Amino acid sequence: MFGYVGDSRKDLERLVEALCMSAKKDTVAASLGMDTVHADGWGYALYSDSGLSVRKSRRPVFEDDVDLPPTDGRIYAIFHARMATDKKMVESRFSHPYCGDDESSFVFLAHNGSVDKGRLQQKVGFSGRATDSELAMKYLLRFGLGRASELERYTTPNSALNLMVLSVGRNGGARVLVKHFYNKVDGRKDKSRYYAIYHERLSGGKAAFSSTFNDYGFSGTELKRPGLLSVSGL
């Protein structure tokens, strides 16, 4: 997945190309003996002066037509290619990003990693059919983006809480927020390289992205800060 804030369609096209290649062959996952294909759907949320666009597909991003919407001025975007834990939930409605709103903004969330679904269902009072990522979204909408770090306690062992959020204000303005947390457990295979998030200043903006992008044309610096980070101020 990646998040981007900037003025360049060329930046965005490069990032989408890297997403497609990463989803088709996750080189970092391959080096760890893990599944290498993220083929269980994809999606994006993108905001600019041209409008707000959201797309969610069940098809692999590397087999789909990725037509970017018109953009004008500053671009705020998050993109995600999915590797589903539950293959019975490979449907466009369960592709990322998840969408919601509160009194101040419209919120779109993409998530990599796993959180404890049962505990989150109890916490947010929701028993309907949902992925763990959607429940994480419901948590943030209920308790606020400022409490995103509290989701760390729900992150499953040897997994991550990697969040990318597009927040579009009801009264104007937008932000892309990024969070990284890896719940390491001693004695298990270290997956920190797989779950690492990197950031990079590009020709027309700033981006944060998953580790495999560094094998497909990017050279980011690893994100170490544990809290929510605004890409617009990276």
Residue 168 backbone dihedrals phi, psi, to 5 degrees:
-115, 115
* Model pLDDT, residue 189: 87
> What confidence category does residue 230 fall into, taking pLDDT thresholds of 50, 70 and 90?
low
> Range with the lowest mean pLDDT among 28-32, 111-115, 226-230?
226-230
* Model pLDDT, residue 175: 94
Burial of 61 from C-beta contacts in 10 A (0-12 / 13-18 / 19+): buried
**Helix ranges (DSSP H) in 86-131:** 117-124
Q: Give tens-digit pLDDT for 25-67.
A: 999 999 999 999 999 999 999 999 999 999 999 999 999 999 9
pLDDT average, residue stretch 107-131:
95
Q: Give tens-digit pLDDT for 120-166.
A: 999 999 999 999 999 999 999 999 998 999 999 999 999 999 999 99
Give residue 234's identity as a one-letter amino acid code: L
Q: Output the six-digit token pair for 234.
A: 């990276």
* Model pLDDT, residue 187: 75
Mean pLDDT of the chain: 93
* Model pLDDT, residue 33: 94
Taken in order of first residue, the domains within the chain and their CATH numbers are 2-233 (3.60.20)
Tell me the C-alpha distance between 164 and 160, whole Å. Answer: 13
Q: What share of the chain is helix, strand, coil (3-state, %, to 5)?
A: 30, 30, 40
> What confidence category does residue 233 fall into, taking pLDDT thresholds of 50, 70 and 90?
very low
Order across the sheet with 221-222: list the strands: 51-57, 42-48, 75-81, 2-6, 205-210, 197-201, 221-222
Q: Is the dihedral of CA 178, 144, 141, 182 positive or negative?
A: positive
